[in-house]
Structure 1
Amino acid sequence: MCGRFALTLPNDAIAQLFAAQPANDLPQGPNYNICPTTPVHVVSAGEGIRRLQAMRWGFLPHWYKTETAGPLLINARAETLAEKPAFAEACRKRRCLIPASGFYEWPRASRGRRLPWYIRRCDDAPLAFAGIWQDWRQHSGQNGGQDCGQHDSQATCAIVTTAANQSFLPIHHRMPLMLEPQDWSLWLGESGKGAASLMQPGPEGLHLMHRVAMDVNSSGPADPR
């Protein structure tokens, strides 16, 4: 599960890290409280180049007539990614990387309260979440079953998750699929087939976790807490 995350790197540093060509409309940071449905940085590959662009965090299947026509799909389970109708084609053709500096989880504490924790790498290196993406068009009207207009397409994405490893289990039973630099090319489809081999919990002991202020429960604050 991943419901909020942070990204503190400047756009030029992200583009350099992933050897990607940056778009002109990237979100500005740093942002310590990135929320679902907002634009996020996404690295995709095609035609021999990598691109860094903004996409809506919240995958929209092509059959959604509006952004709220079905469940909000911010995460996609690795175990069923290739089988779910919403994700199957994107799993084969449109995999991506979603940069992050860390992310948040809310384990249940005493008296049933959920308290926010922040998770980052021990070496403070950036994270690369495995993701999938989809171009989506909102149907602006129908006439006798025929579309009578469409808005411009919107790029949308979801973060792939796996079962938690042992060190992460005290926080949550699911965790984002986080890829090491040597695996980025395979996930993006630049190195041929075999991306399915990456869809498993990461190594133990790579991450640190600490409690943060309850302010992160709100979508407003975007500064360090």
Structure 2
Amino acid sequence: MCGRYVMAKTTADLVAEAEAEADANLELRQSWNVAPTSDVPVVLERYIGGPVNRGPVRQVHVAQWGLVPGWAKDASAGARAFNARSETVLEKPTFRDAVVSRRCAVPVQGYYEWKSGPGKTKRPHYVRRADGALTFFAGLYEWWRDPAKAPGEPGSWLLSTSILTTAAPDPEVIRSAGQPEVLAELGELHDRLPMPLSRDTMAAWLDPAAPNAGALVRRVLAEAHGEAARWTLNEVGPAVGSVRNDGPELLAAPTPETGAEPALF
């Protein structure tokens, strides 16, 4: 699962690392506690027409995190669709059209997950690439037309996105096979895992003309655990549990002052 993450890169850094162009009106807000329904950057490819046919162009746009299908009656549908299960994404009405031709990548510096402790306690952990590079999650996007607004009126179209997830590694299988310990730790952290893209697979995933969405989903699935082996995780303080808290201090390890004891969430 992915329910909170960090994306605090500058626009220039994100565009460079994504090897993309910035949308003309792109405005990114740094956040160390991104929550569903927030505005987030997404990387997608679209065809640019005109006198010179440029073919598919990779761009960075801002989308609402929580996918709103075109047939939804109102935008509140997105609050329930910030993640998409890879096992059912090809069949679920909310996602099945987007996965065919509206695939994107969601860039993150890392994400938060809560590890269950004694009783009902949970300890938040921050998961990120060990080398500090961005992770690009496999995502979907949709355009939704607001029927309450006139065509062409500002805000009449909403761009939204969702992140694909898969089953987390089985810790016992990982350890018995001598695979990287971080995979076992991820399996102990949560039973779901947001699906990271390798650079090669990201290029194929973003291609709007790719002919076989099912094959692409299987390709991302096949690589997900291998890409996740690049991650590292560390415990952080309980302040991340509130969306009112947002700053780089959220990434610090817990202390007796910030909450070394398990925090209720």
State whether TM-score is above 0.5: yes
Matched, 1:178 2:196: yes
C-alpha displacement of 1:71: 5.5
Find the aligned partners of 1:116 and 1:70 in 2 and give their Cα distance: 25
Find the aligned partners of 2:142 and 2:14 in 1 and give their Cα distance: 22
Of residues 61, 66, 69, the one that matches 2:69 is 61
Larger Rg computed on CA atoms: 2
Using structure 1 for the length normalisation, give the TM-score: 0.89
Alignment check: 8 A CA contact 1:129 1:159 kept? yes
Match of 1:169 in 2: 187
Query: For the aligned residues, what is the CA RMSD?
Result: 2.2
Of residues 111, 114, 117, the one that matches 1:109 is 117
Find runs of 4+ consecutive structure 1 residues off by over 4 angstroms: none
| Structure 2 residue ranges without an equivalent (≥5) | 48-55, 171-182, 251-265
Match of 1:4 in 2: 4
Find the aligned partners of 1:103 and 1:138 in 2 and give their Cα distance: 31
Give the number of equivalent residue pairs: 219
Using structure 2 for the length normalisation, give the TM-score: 0.77
Match of 1:144 in 2: none
Alignment check: 8 A CA contact 1:4 1:104 kept? yes
Alignment check: 8 A CA contact 1:58 1:72 kept? yes
Find the aligned partners of 1:171 and 1:34 in 2 and give their Cα distance: 19
1:151-200: per-residue Cα shift (whole Å, max 9, x none)?
Answer: 61100000010111242110001000001112111111268344123231
- Aligned pair in 2 of structure 1 residues 73, 190: CA closer, same or farther (>3 Å)? closer
C-alpha displacement of 1:28: 2.4
The one-letter code of the counterpart of 1:195 is L
Matched, 1:209 2:233: yes
Match of 2:27 in 1: 26
Alignment check: 8 A CA contact 2:40 2:62 kept? yes
| Structure 1 residue ranges without an equivalent (≥5) | 142-146
